[in-house]
Structure 1
């Protein structure tokens, strides 16, 4: 049982506002999108350019991942997202996803993937508690895939992964980061989603130190917003909860949303004196768990990372320490 002096308010509020627990299985990926932030670790394109820059070594085995996930879900977090790198390249993906605790009526598990490995793993993926698969579709041709991800993998491998996911899971969604390299294909990507009645999310680029060299590739969401308004009058904005605000459109019942930086984001006490606030377009919307057992409440501040590996043997204490970390972050005392 948790000790009575632990303040759970900040963690519970974060959960109530639909905050995400984002669990990275690996910083490695079989492609290398230039804009990748890799959940705060060194991204694949940077390692390709400079082998001296490597992501953290692995510190969590499958049992460690499961202990951490179970502990934080029992403490109140309900929305769990599995990321990477590409999560399906990790050897821990299968043993973790196959042994997830039953989520319950108000919890959910989402896999975020580039789609290229879905068919390879379909036999066991279909037997997991995953509720949703979200496929990153930032390209719609071999040429744009090469320009954005620096890979010889063809677009058909990605599209096949999407179709395979649709055969396995009831809910499959797409997300596209808007950029100059795919601006000519955004309409095709939207049509692809609408034809298959898949929810779709268009995202303005999250700038980090890792991708600042190509920051000029970022484009505004204004053009896609204007186009969506020609297709439907069913539009509303959501600014409640955590994360960035979003514009939500419904086209023949299919939800298309746009993460638009000018709608604001959820800042907390720690953000008040943060020197990075002027460039922050996210705020506090996710707790990021990396494969070395670190938890970060902010993508841009790895100095606020909490290492929980030594707490894995005591799940109750682990949850208490994380709750305290979130409280300090929201109060600005970290």
Structure 2
């Protein structure tokens, strides 16, 4: 395969806001029943099955720093720090401290958190180069929060959202629509609207971990979208070119972004021949890096994981590897071992 063609695919990934989700830890203080833990074993599964184990925290802070620097040089426009719960990780602050001041138009640093620890950490984070905080709010009462996350601290999470709103340049709420919160979903949306922040409402994504309950638990956002239009919202569609197409309901000071399976997703070359495509509703939109230093482009296929650590030891190695690897995945060509054999690296 011509390298120029692979680099063209990688450029498309960048232009369409392709992102890296960098998991700093696979442990979490919540036990959400739907958690996919960025492709790692969810905490609730480890708790229920003692034979399972969390990902080992092999990737060092120095290797994460090398990763982030390389991704910035490559022009990746969205860098998410996730977990588990990233605020648990002692590596978060040293990594953030190395990110230079920047224009969010060039790239965005986004912290994805459940919000439980955010108020305790917020003053340590407020001067860090964080462009956006994405906070999960899957309930509006302690009873519902317990049913979803096995936590009962909803007021603390709401307060963390209010505080974050006053400190960080951008805050967004993230909510999964499910039977446990369906009766509160309009309250959650109203809370976001009162704070004048956007909210993204997700539909359940199938994984091996939620296989037994997927059919009963997955709810469509279609009726919710219609209800929001009746409340005065203006509907439009977002078709980013990678990942899930979204229905957006715009109000005067905030927007509700709705994942809707019926709108379809964008699939790349490798997806076309994938045996799991019928179960995949997200398409390709993100690279996930786990605490062991492995990256994978798909939640459903662990066979696509590649070890980034060998490319994090010397400046410039990552920049040679990532564009061709992502380009090959998008083109549906063999993974980078073929490039290694050809002596590209």
Task: Give the TM-score taking structure 2 as reference length.
Answer: 0.92
Q: 1:330 offset after TM fit, Å?
A: 1.2
How big is each residue's C-alpha offset from its partner over 1:119-167, in whole Å with a ceiling of 9 and x where there is no partner? 111122001110111110011111111111123x321121122122123
Map of 1:1-334 to 2, 5 A cutoff? Answer: 7-104=6-103, 105-151=105-151, 153-215=152-214, 216-334=216-334
Q: 1:302 offset after TM fit, Å?
A: 1.2
SS at match of 1:175: strand
Q: Is the 8 A contact 1:70 1:101 kept in 2?
A: no
Q: Is the 8 A contact 1:28 1:86 kept in 2?
A: yes
Q: 1:18 offset after TM fit, Å?
A: 0.9
SS at match of 2:329: helix
Q: Is the 8 A contact 1:18 1:241 kept in 2?
A: no
Q: Is the 8 A contact 1:243 1:285 kept in 2?
A: yes
SS at match of 2:109: strand
Q: Which runs of 5+ in 1 are unaligned?
A: none
Q: Is the 8 A contact 1:234 1:251 kept in 2?
A: yes
Question: CA–CA distance in 2 between the matches of 1:315 and 1:75?
Answer: 12
Alignment size in residue pairs: 330
Question: CA–CA distance in 1 between the matches of 2:113 and 2:42?
Answer: 15
Give structure 1 regions of 4+ aligned residues with deviation exceeding 6 angstroms.
none
Q: 1:213 offset after TM fit, Å?
A: 2.3
SS at match of 1:70: helix
Q: Which runs of 5+ in 2 are unaligned?
A: 335-345
Question: CA–CA distance in 2 between the matches of 1:302 and 1:319?
Answer: 23
Q: 1:5 offset after TM fit, Å?
A: 7.6
Distance change (3 Å), C-alpha of 1:254 and 1:275: same
Q: Is the 8 A contact 2:131 2:170 kept in 1?
A: yes
Question: CA–CA distance in 2 between the matches of 1:102 and 1:287?
Answer: 24
How big is each residue's C-alpha offset from its partner over 1:205-243, in whole Å with a ceiling of 9 and x where there is no partner? 111001122211111112211111102252110123211
SS at match of 2:20: strand
Q: 1:275 offset after TM fit, Å?
A: 0.7
Question: CA–CA distance in 1 between the matches of 2:81 and 2:208?
Answer: 23
Q: Is the 8 A contact 1:246 1:257 kept in 2?
A: yes
Question: CA–CA distance in 1 between the matches of 2:239 and 2:315?
Answer: 34
Q: Is the 8 A contact 1:98 1:127 kept in 2?
A: no
Question: CA–CA distance in 2 between the matches of 1:129 and 1:138?
Answer: 27
Q: 1:267 offset after TM fit, Å?
A: 0.4
Bigger Cα displacement from structure 2, 209-218 vs 42-51? 209-218
Task: Give the TM-score taking structure 1 as reference length.
Answer: 0.95
Q: Is the 8 A contact 1:86 1:113 kept in 2?
A: yes
SS at match of 1:179: coil
Q: 1:69 offset after TM fit, Å?
A: 1.2
Q: 1:253 offset after TM fit, Å?
A: 3.0
Q: Is the 8 A contact 2:162 2:195 kept in 1?
A: no
Bigger Cα displacement from structure 2, 98-107 vs 127-136? 98-107
Question: How well do the aligned residues superpose, as a CA RMSD in angstroms?
Answer: 1.5
How big is each residue's C-alpha offset from its partner over 1:22-73, in whole Å with a ceiling of 9 and x where there is no partner? 1111111000100011110001110111122112211211111110111122
Match of 2:339 in 1: none
SS at match of 1:295: strand
Q: 1:171 offset after TM fit, Å?
A: 1.4
